[in-house]
Chain A
């Protein structure tokens, strides 16, 4: 059990729609990172949240936004979905320099 929970596990959306993915980090972890993993590739950093603020952002367009709540859980929002947004979205619960991952949300855009 990773201790990091993500929901939903699978999602199918239509181009142009908006989606919200959710993550609960491990107990006691106050930092969350989001990654996108396209098929056959390694994860790509989207952004990191700490103390409810976006602390660092990767090379993703503004269509990707996030939020962190006082209980450290986090959401990833993607607007105006494109076919190319189809991927596995991973949430990482951060402790020091270590990242603990959830099972991910498989997003398919049709």
Chain B
């Protein structure tokens, strides 16, 4: 079955630490890849997306992600996190002509000031 897995359910970091959140999917066809963020009390917002082209994509607030097709991965990175990055992060995948997004379980990120 098609699925998306996020490696860590909870991550705690100090400010200025580097961040990498893992995302892997199980599907051999064409994919569109997304990272969404949900700040406390807010709606899901798009951080970044990959459709085609350069596998290193940059999003808002200094986030970037790299698509590695051979590893079926789309990991999210940020060189130096801030307290305001405390949120839940979701990886989502759109597979071929399927209309649905398939989501990971999310990673709750807590940044200690």
Q: A residues engaging B (CB < 8 A)?
A: 2, 4, 33, 35, 40-45, 48, 55-56, 58, 90, 92, 97-104
Q: How far apart sit A43 and B44, CA to CA, in the bound complex (Å)?
A: 11
Q: How far apart sit A98 and B42, CA to CA, in the bound complex (Å)?
A: 18
Query: Apart from A98-B46, A98-B49, A99-B46, what are 18 other A-B pairs with CB-CB below 8 Å?
Result: A2-B43, A4-B43, A33-B99, A33-B100, A40-B9, A43-B101, A45-B100, A48-B100, A56-B99, A90-B44, A97-B32, A97-B49, A97-B51, A99-B34, A101-B43, A101-B45, A103-B43, A104-B43
B32: A residues at CB distance < 8 A: 97
Q: How far apart sit A72 and B43, CA to CA, in the bound complex (Å)?
A: 21
Q: Out of A4, A40, A48, which one reaches B99, CB within 8 Å?
A: A48
Q: How far apart sit A104 and B44, CA to CA, in the bound complex (Å)?
A: 9
B103 touches A42 (CB 8 A): yes
Interface residues of B in 72-104 (CB under 8 A from A): 90, 92, 94, 98-104
Q: How far apart sit A4 and B9, CA to CA, in the bound complex (Å)?
A: 28
Q: How far apart sit A43 and B102, CA to CA, in the bound complex (Å)?
A: 8
Q: Out of B42, B98, B99, B104, which one reaches A42, CB within 8 Å?
A: B104
What's the nearest-Cβ distance from chain B to residue A49, in Å? 10
B51: A residues at CB distance < 8 A: 97
In which size bucket is the chain B interface?
A: 20 to 34
Q: Out of B34, B36, B92, B105, which one reaches A41, CB within 8 Å?
A: B105
- In this assembly, does B109 line the interface, its C-beta being within 8 Å of a C-beta of chain A? no
| B38 closest partner in A (C-beta) | A101
B99: A residues at CB distance < 8 A: 33, 48, 55-56
What's the nearest-Cβ distance from chain B to residue A30, in Å? 13
Please list 19 pairs of residues, one from A and one from B, whose beta carbons are closer than 8 Å in the complex, sorted by A's number: A2-B43, A2-B45, A33-B101, A40-B106, A42-B4, A42-B103, A42-B104, A43-B90, A43-B101, A44-B103, A45-B100, A45-B101, A55-B99, A56-B100, A90-B44, A97-B49, A101-B43, A103-B42, A104-B43
Q: How far apart sit A103 and B100, CA to CA, in the bound complex (Å)?
A: 19
What's the nearest-Cβ distance from chain B to residue A89, in Å? 13
